[in-house]
Amino acid sequence: MPQPEDLVSEIEALGGQLAAAKASISKRLIGQESVVDLTLASLLCGGHALLIGLPGLGKTRLVETLSTVMGLEGSRVQFTPDLMPADILGSEVLEKKKGGEREFRFIEGPIFCQLLMADEINRASPRTQSALLQAMQEKKVTIAGEERPLGAPFHVLATQNPIEQEGTYPLPEAQLDRFLVQIDVDYPDRDTERAIILATTGVEEAEAEAVFTAEELLAAQRLLRRMPVGDAVVEMILDLVRACRPDDPDAPEVVRENVAWGPGPRAAQALMLTVRAEALLNGRLVPSPEDVLRMARPVLSHRMALSFAARARGLELSQVIAEVAERVSGTEAAA
């Protein structure tokens, strides 16, 4: 049985490797530290992430860089309205052999990789979006009645444009819940934008180097689940998730009056994993209540919805989550 000191040394070694990974990513992606941390946290937890932001903010560049740094076989699919499930999963084709015999051969689609970038996922039809559900949850697909396992590890990093809704298909709640976190990608500040244009418009650009291998990432995912979580953090996670459900008797007034439906148990599971990843990324051995506050918005914002009346008043979900987190923690939480 592993000893506590062995676990401490393993966590410290992984923390150093993660610091090197972030340094390598920063060569290609300037700024966006919180976005990088949340995406790395998603990979460490073995989950998927939904990146929401305007075009040109570096979402595609981030995914390409992560593929290199984390040593993963990457694939990219540009989602369009005419994209069919077979375009993602693959299909069987009838081939003629030399002897004249014919047989079916399966041609793998781009989903057979370790890091799939689903670019502008909401542009595809619900039929195609649903093709990802089994893959994201079970890490396998069923084609022509045969189950085919996907790569290990397997992660989906999907992007979505928040302002252009014409010709798009909103993701169903069941699929949104499969994403471990929702990551909002905002505009950079002036100094960061200045550094970006100077670094990316010259003759040469810096290149990221591989820091992890796929096997090391799988080992990191196993190690993360061995990290201890204190009772105070567990109770805070439960209090936070349950307080966001409008039908819970202990839900605050802001939730009962403004939230149409709240997060399920998968949100609590996601928080238990992501607070550990947050601690790891910040060089700590155990998660703290502050980690719960930092992860509340990315974990909960796509797992609950405001009522029509609340949206009409201009209320934002981030305000509700921040107020609930403040009540649960007894301290002021950032929106």
Q: What is the pLDDT of residue 166?
A: 65
The predicted structure's pLDDT at residue 80: 86
Measuring CA to CA, which residue among 295, 292, 301 is closest to residue 259?
301
- Beta-bridge partners for 305: 261
Residues 6+ apart with CB under 8 A from 228: 286
Contact 296, 287 (CB under 8 A): no
Q: Mean pLDDT by 10-residue block, N- to C-terminus, for the chain (335 residues)?
A: 72 91 88 90 94 84 90 89 87 76 82 91 84 83 82 90 73 85 90 86 81 94 93 95 92 92 93 95 91 94 91 91 89 42
DSSP codes of every residue in 169-227: -PPPHHHHTTSSEEEE-PPP-HHHHHHHHHHHSSS----------HHHHHHHHHHHHHS
What is the model's pLDDT at position 259? 92
Residue appearing with tokens 């992860």: 295
DSSP E strand stretches across the chain: 49-52, 74-78, 90-96, 102-108, 115-119, 140-143, 146-149, 155-160, 181-184, 259-261, 305-306
Query: Is this prediction's pTM over 0.75?
Result: yes
Query: How far, rounded to the nearest angstrom, does the alpha carbon of residue 109 sit from its chain's CA centroid?
Result: 22
In this prediction, residue 107 carries a pLDDT of 84
> DSSP letters along 297-317, please?
HHHHTTS-EE-HHHHHTT--H
Q: What pLDDT was estimated at residue 167? A: 64
What pLDDT does 1 receive? 47
Cα 211 to chain centroid distance, Å, stands at 20
- Give the C-alpha separation, 51 to 58, whole Å: 10
Predicted pLDDT of residue 3: 55
- What torsion do the CA atoms of 22, 23, 25, 29 make, to the nearest 10 degrees? 110
**pLDDT score of 18:** 93
Query: For 102, which DSSP code?
Result: E
Q: Where are the domains of the chain?
A: 1-226, 227-335
**Do 227-335 and 1-226 have the same topology in CATH?**
no
pLDDT at residue number 53 = 85
At residue 333, the pLDDT reads 41
User: Which of the following CATH numbers is that of domain 227-335: 1.10.8.80, 3.90.1150.10, 3.90.79.10, 1.10.10.10?
Assistant: 1.10.8.80
Q: Assign domain 1-226 to a CATH class.
A: alpha beta
For residues 128 and 84, what is the distance between their CA atoms, to the nearest angstrom? Answer: 6
Distances (CA, A) of 152 to 123, 149, 277: 27, 9, 19
According to the model, what pLDDT value does residue 165 have?
A: 65
What gap in Å lies between CA 255 and CA 115, rounded to an integer?
36
